[in-house]
Amino acid sequence: MRELVNVLHVSLQKARFSKFLNIYHLPQQLRMRRVFQDMGENDEPPQDLSVMPNLFSLPMAAEEFPIMKAARQEAVEAMEQAYLQRLVQLSEASISTACKLSGLSRARLYELLSKHNLSLKSN
């Protein structure tokens, strides 16, 4: 019950200047659950990284093992790429839909799409 109250509190704070409560007002974890549902997965994102696509891999040898900062950056880059590719598919070339699903501003979305050489335009 407390968790529901917290979700409502956060969502209402985000929507305080809006007439309607929309999905992008919900916490990111709930929006991600929706994306995974739309992808046909379970209603939960995978907790075990071994079931995730090979976004990045760590070397087995100690002498090749990266520092944490480099490993984290590689993981973030790979996850951003996978997330944005799926977002482009789900949004069907609509910037408004992509912004609503992701909770990103237009400027930030365009920045990330450019960073990963992606576009919302159909090929």
Domain ranges in the chain are: 23-115
DSSP labels for 50-116?
GGS-------SSGGGPPPHHHHHHHHHHHHHHHHHHHHHHHHTT-HHHHHHHH---HHHHHHHHHHT
The model carries a pTM of 0.53
Predicted confidence (pLDDT) per residue in 18-72, tens digit = 888 877 777 777 777 777 777 665 545 444 444 444 555 666 777 778 888 888 8
H/E element, 99: helix 95-102
Predicted confidence (pLDDT) per residue in 83-107, tens digit = 898 899 888 889 999 999 899 999 9
Report the SS3 class of residue 22.
Answer: coil
